[in-house]
């Protein structure tokens, strides 16, 4: 997921479409409502974009969804960003594990 000042852009694994939502409280609420079933068993990865991802990250974690910021590099690699405790839920063969990163 990439967030800028005006909107968020995201893809759902296994789907070709790129979707957007307004980067506002109302836009974020609509996104969470529309994707609550997917979010409940997924890890949402947010590219760090100058702090614009913060509202989305905090909202997802507050709702109990797994979300984590990453820093995409020019060489195509991705680096995990340690931004304090982030609740991560990992589903493995029907079992849910929780840990703090």
Say how far apart CA 32 and CA 65 lie, in whole Å: 10
CB-side neighbour CA atoms (13 Å) of 30: 11
Give per-residue pLDDT as tens, 15-35: 888 999 999 999 999 999 999
Residue 54: the pLDDT is 87
Residue 94: the pLDDT is 38
Q: Where are the alpha helices (DSSP H) in the chain?
A: 25-39, 54-62
Residue 95: the pLDDT is 39
Stretch (H or E) spanning 1: none
Give per-residue pLDDT as tens, 36-84: 999 988 888 888 888 888 889 889 989 999 888 888 766 666 666 655 4
Tokens coding 89? 């839920």
Domain residue spans of the chain = 2-100
């Amino acid at each position: 997921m990439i967030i800028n000042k005006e909107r968020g852009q995201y893809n759902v694994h296994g789907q070709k479409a790129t979707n957007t939502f307004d980067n506002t409280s109302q836009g974020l609420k609509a996104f969470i409502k529309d994707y609550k079933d997917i979010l409940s068993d997924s890890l949402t990865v947010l590219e760090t974009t100058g702090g614009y991802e913060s509202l989305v990250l905090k909202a997802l974690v507050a709702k109990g969804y797994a979300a984590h910021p990453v820093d995409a590099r020019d060489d195509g690699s991705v680096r995990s960003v340690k931004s304090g405790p982030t609740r991560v839920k990992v589903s493995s063969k029907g079992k849910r594990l929780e840990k703090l990163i």
